[in-house]
């Protein structure tokens, strides 16, 4: 007969089973929580990777907060700028793009590659980089040129100056902008420039176009240069008038100063305008010189077009001479500007020069008395291109302006090899060689 288990033993077993079940549930909960945490981590990881791919895929540009925050700060610099207008179908056109240029339409997040002929609307941003430039054409306000590393935002607005019609405005956030703007009506040109915490209204003089240049510096200050006409500048309730051949430095939250005269324009010396230079296999070294002025600092620009938009080289120099040795075949245009601190003067007249690669050897014809002679001396004569240098053996032959040459050479008894070389100005060489047998019978026959 089975004995019944004591009540105490049965109670202990039940509590053990209950405890074991609780542990298993806790394990399952921990494992489930770990899996959930791992899933969240993986989601965040793949989201970060996806975001990185997007950042790498889209063109880089200034951040939205920096771009429009800066825009708002400059907009508040003067009450004439009215922000918050809706985007228009057309404010201007991207008239020219050189190399890598990006733009960002209003309300878009990503920058995109720009192309010539692109329509630009209200709040449209355009950005150039180290090796790129662009030009923007306004419907009634002329054309503006953007230098390298420039960032601008276009605005279409009604202003205190023009209450009855819309006014185009260009907010310059970085880089260099210059332009030649025609007169619109009787109250100036159809464009305002916003930079350095100030708003500038350009004014033409007696029906002529207003010409200006503006540079934004790293500290957010800007220098406005007026080359023709004038500009009325407003900032913080102050107004300053900048006349022709004057400059004014604009600084956010700083009172307007007084305009200062532009540095004198340097005088270019060489190479001469329209000059042509040939070169051979090695790249030519082109030296540029200009007359010194009182500033002692200069800005040199070399481009492939007369408007200086397709830049090849740009540098700031202390000397009045510069040599460049990496230019290839083609037409080039260059100018120099005097610089005094952050202020640039009027550029010198643009000059041009042409580089032509010439790999063609000079012509060469040689006349010898014959293949056999009976004298110890022989006259070598011939014709080559004008300006070429002629060597007979190791001796240079006198050459006329027409390219004719002649030289007496000494012969040894027996076979002699006559070598003639013509070398042109760029190093191309033409060769001639011929054996001449000298039959010398006696010393008395040496003539």
CB 263 within 8 A of CB 234: no
What would the two tokens of residue 36 be? Answer: 């959930």
Residue 388, preceding peptide bond in cis (omega within 30° of 0): no
Q: What is the pLDDT of residue 406?
A: 96
Residue 171: pLDDT over 80:
yes
Predicted TM-score (pTM) of the model is 0.65
Mean pLDDT rounded to a whole number for the chain = 83
Instruction: Categorize the per-residue pLDDT at 21 as very low, low, confident or very high, splitting at 50, 70 and 90.
Output: low
Rounded to an integer, the average pLDDT of 207-225 is 90
Element (H, E) at 234: strand 230-235
Residue 234: pLDDT over 90:
yes
- The more confidently predicted of residues 251 and 31 is 251
Report how far Cα 373 is from the mean position of its chain's Cα atoms: 66
Instruction: Categorize the per-residue pLDDT at 30 as very low, low, confident or very high, splitting at 50, 70 and 90.
Output: low
Give the CA dihedral 134, 138, 143, 146, nearest 10 degrees: -30
- The more confidently predicted of residues 327 and 446 is 327
Pairwise CA distance, residues 63 & 110, whole Å: 10
- The more confidently predicted of residues 182 and 305 is 305
Pairwise CA distance, residues 429 & 420, whole Å: 10
Span 127-140, pLDDT tens digits: 999 889 999 998 76
Could you give the 3-state DSSP secondary structure of residue 138?
strand
Walk me through the domains of the chain, giving residue ranges and CATH numbers.
64-261 (2.60.120.1440), 267-357 (2.60.40.10), 364-445 (2.60.40.10)
Pairwise CA distance, residues 236 & 378, whole Å: 92
Q: Is the dihedral of CA 296, 133, 349, 426 positive or negative?
A: positive
CB 213 within 8 A of CB 176: yes
As a whole-number percent, the residues of the chain with pLDDT over 90 amount to 57
Q: CA 70 → CA 117, 225, 252, distances in Å?
A: 27, 22, 11
Out of 23-37, 112-126, 421-435, which region has the weakest mean confidence (pLDDT)? 23-37
- The half-sphere exposure of 93 on its side-chain side, counting CA atoms within 13 A, is 8
Instruction: Categorize the per-residue pLDDT at 291 as very low, low, confident or very high, splitting at 50, 70 and 90.
Output: very high
Q: What is the pLDDT of residue 51?
A: 67
Span 425-434, pLDDT tens digits: 999 999 999 9
Rounded to an integer, the average pLDDT of 342-349 is 90
Residue 177: pLDDT over 70:
yes
Residue 16: pLDDT over 90:
no
First CA to last CA across the chain, in angstroms?
157
Span 42-81, pLDDT tens digits: 778 777 766 666 555 544 555 544 554 544 444 444 434 4
Phi–psi pair at 19, nearest 5 degrees: -65, -40
- The more confidently predicted of residues 10 and 270 is 270
Rounded to an integer, the average pLDDT of 90-116 is 90
């Amino acid at each position: 007969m089975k004995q019944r288990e004591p009540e105490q033993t049965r109670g202990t077993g039940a509590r053990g089973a209950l405890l074991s079940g609780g542990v298993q549930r806790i394990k399952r909960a921990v494992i489930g929580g770990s899996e959930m945490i791992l899933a969240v981590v993986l989601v965040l990881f793949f989201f970060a990777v996806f975001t990185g791919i997007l950042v790498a895929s889209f063109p880089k540009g200034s951040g939205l907060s920096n771009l429009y925050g800066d825009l708002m700060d400059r907009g508040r610099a003067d009450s004439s700028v009215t922000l918050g207008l809706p985007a228009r179908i057309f404010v201007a056109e991207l008239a020219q793009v050189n190399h890598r240029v990006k733009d960002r339409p209003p309300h878009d997040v990503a920058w995109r590659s720009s192309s010539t002929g692109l329509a630009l609307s209200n709040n449209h941003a355009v950005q150039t980089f180290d090796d790129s430039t662009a030009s923007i054409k306004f419907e009634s306000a002329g054309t503006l040129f953007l230098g390298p590393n420039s960032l601008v935002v276009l605005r279409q607005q009604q202003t205190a100056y023009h209450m009855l019609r819309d006014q185009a405005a260009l907010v310059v956030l970085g880089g260099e902008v210059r332009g030649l703007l025609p007169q619109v009506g009787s109250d100036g040109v159809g464009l305002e420039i916003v930079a350095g915490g100030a708003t500038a209204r350009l004014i033409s003089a007696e029906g002529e176009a207003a010409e200006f240049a503006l540079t934004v510096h790293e500290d957010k200050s800007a220098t406005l240069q007026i080359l023709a006409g004038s500009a009325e500048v407003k900032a913080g309730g102050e107004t300053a008038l900048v006349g022709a051949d004057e400059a004014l430095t604009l600084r956010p939250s700083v009172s307007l100063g007084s305009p200062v005269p532009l540095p004198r324009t340097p005088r270019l010396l060489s190479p001469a305008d329209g000059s042509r230079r040939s070169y051979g296999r090695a790249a030519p070294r082109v030296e540029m010189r200009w007359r010194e002025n009182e500033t002692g600092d200069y800005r040199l620009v070399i481009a492939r077009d007369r408007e200086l938009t397709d830049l090849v080289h740009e540098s700031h120099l202390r000397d009045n001479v510069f040599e460049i040795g990496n230019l290839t075949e083609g037409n080039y245009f260059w100018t120099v500007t005097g610089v005094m601190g952050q202020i640039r003067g009027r550029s010198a007249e643009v000059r041009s020069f042409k580089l032509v690669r010439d790999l063609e050897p000079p012509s060469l014809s040689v006349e010898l008395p014959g293949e056999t002679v009976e004298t110890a001396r022989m006259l070598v004569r011939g014709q080559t291109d004008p300006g070429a240098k002629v060597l007979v053996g190791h001796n240079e032959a006198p050459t006329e302006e027409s390219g004719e040459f002649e030289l007496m050479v000494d012969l040894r008894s027996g076979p002699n090899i006559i070598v003639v070389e013509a070398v042109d100005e760029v190093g191309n060489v033409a060769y001639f060689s011929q054996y001449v047998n000298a039959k010398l019978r006696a010393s008395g026959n040496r003539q």
